[in-house]
Structure 1
């Protein structure tokens, strides 16, 4: 792929991290903000961050030189996006700010430029109202810290073209990230799940069942320990969907509506599809591959614990 001309509008920590990743993938990046002075100041900051990341062994040894050569602060939003093929909006999570910024971006950008928004929760269709030629617009949601979290949500809206989606995926994957396509919905996938967990954790703490510290310990050392390797459907398949159904029934003795058995789970159990032990479930892992999967799981968990032991405890007292 030839060198991509990109622009990042919003040069704070998210935008700066995205600019770093784009540059390390070989893209030329124009960095813009509400003023040339802020863009220049944040450009200096992201280079300083990159130096620290190199010193900490988190970036390659030549990262600062590569980023300095490819990321340039722009005089204005319009100047940044004028020649860009891909533009990432990363301004604060307020729809009025995003609308105003996206209107400026789309008015000044070339007609074929693909425009992404790093919104965390706002529906892409709502943001698209401010975009000229909205078929080239979609959500491209990086997570904080952008240089080090590998997953990126790709969120088209109703009229986003397949070519715009493919362009965004190609550019993001070139940074080493993993992409997942998500339908346009408030909160998308990442934050809908993340905030559901936090709400339940906050309720448990408020009820006095466990302290925030002990809740964090339980999450880190039990089901959360599995999550770097397996998602919720794979975990359920390995645990046994019939077991999940029994657990839902138990939870329903206290919270019948909050923990109503998912219809998909009930349907699979009724069909005798209990997950890996029956050879069919959400992910349909063949039963003859279960020993291989269990062996991989065990190796992964031991490796994760070794890594955590090597890192030592987080500096939270």
Structure 2
């Protein structure tokens, strides 16, 4: 099994927007990256695109000086998937989210990679167990779910299958963190955490549009300027604890009257409120925030919201929206 000290060469199979972003991160961290796609011409075209894009990011101050040159030096276009992975210590599979395509690609990758190489699939929602069954030596295989655009989004989900060796997860986590990313280990369930939540929100947003409560433009304006603004800095449980779980319980009761069972008060929320665990104002909620941290947390929140507001004002509105 590879360890962090022995990871020196990497490969990315799938050179589109997602795989390209991962390749950028790996190359900027100093790792040689062999890029592969359906054929050599596609991989070479993607390499050219990624170098050009790096130069654009560099000119905007989003990448460090000389980033494009560094990426050009570290990034190579492989003639085939098999060639790309043959001497890699860490391999990312980032082909389209089609089960049969992923299975065939993983068969090719795992059949040509060295036995100790770690293989991470960037699937957005397919259970890792389902993909692992087609991987040679699946103990070195896991889900490593980057978010789009991988170049800039900090979070990465790590998902072990029932076949994954614990050491594989440990090494993968250390490696991804060494790239400057923030990891979270989650269980192997369809959609994992990020996309299960993201698509639940999207479905409810569509329902709001379909029933005529708001237009798509109005929904986006509300989300991006209200709770979505907060989500840039805090997760739902931190936000709930700062707002007050008794407030949430009352809101659910109103929503349930209007929309039925899908908005019923969650049992755990009722229990917490009955126990007096209302969040920051009572000392405990779903999170256990120490009393000594309360004032500092709220001061951080206000400072962060103020600075985010200033950043948004500086950026101005998104073109076309």
Q: Give the match for residue 241 of structure 2.
A: 237
Q: Secondary structure at the residue paired with 1:254?
A: helix
TM-score, L = length of structure 2: 0.96
Matched, 1:96 2:87: no
Report the Cα offset of residue 157 of structure 1. 1.0
Report the Cα offset of residue 2 of structure 1. 5.9
In structure 1, C-alpha distance between the alignment counterparts of 2:295 and 2:176, rounded to whole Å: 35
Matched, 1:141 2:145: yes
Report the Cα offset of residue 255 of structure 1. 2.1
Q: Secondary structure at the residue paired with 2:123?
A: coil
Cα distance per residue 1:72-94 (max 9 Å; x no partner): 11111111111111100000100
Matched, 1:77 2:84: no
Matched, 1:290 2:283: no
5+ long unaligned stretches in structure 2: none
Report the Cα offset of residue 288 of structure 1. 3.9
Q: Secondary structure at the residue paired with 1:230?
A: coil
TM-score, L = length of structure 1: 0.97
Q: Give the match for residue 303 of structure 1.
A: 307
Q: What RMSD in Å do the two structures reach over aligned CA positions? A: 1.2
Q: Secondary structure at the residue paired with 1:258?
A: helix
Residue 123 of structure 1, aligned match among 123, 127, 133? 127
Report the Cα offset of residue 256 of structure 1. 2.6
In structure 2, C-alpha distance between the alignment counterparts of 1:19 and 1:179, rounded to whole Å: 18
Q: Secondary structure at the residue paired with 1:115?
A: strand
Q: Give the match for residue 41 of structure 1.
A: 45
In structure 2, C-alpha distance between the alignment counterparts of 1:240 and 1:78, rounded to whole Å: 54
Report the Cα offset of residue 176 of structure 1. 1.2
TM alignment of 1:53-64, pairs within 5 A = 53-64=57-68
Matched, 1:250 2:254: yes
Residue 277 of structure 2, aligned match among 267, 273, 276? 273
Cα distance per residue 1:85-120 (max 9 Å; x no partner): 110000010000000000000011111111000101
Residue 167 of structure 2, aligned match among 163, 170, 177? 163
Cα distance per residue 1:202-249 (max 9 Å; x no partner): 111111111111111111111111111110000110111111111111
In structure 1, C-alpha distance between the alignment counterparts of 2:147 and 2:66, rounded to whole Å: 24
In structure 2, C-alpha distance between the alignment counterparts of 1:9 and 1:194, rounded to whole Å: 26
- Aligned pairs, number: 317
Report the Cα offset of residue 290 of structure 1. 2.0
In structure 1, C-alpha distance between the alignment counterparts of 2:234 and 2:313, rounded to whole Å: 21
Residue 91 of structure 2, aligned match among 84, 87, 91? 87
Report the Cα offset of residue 159 of structure 1. 2.1
CA contact (8 A) 2:12 2:94 kept: yes
Q: Give the match for residue 218 of structure 2.
A: 214
Cα distance per residue 1:256-309 (max 9 Å; x no partner): 311122222122112111111111111111234322221111111110000001
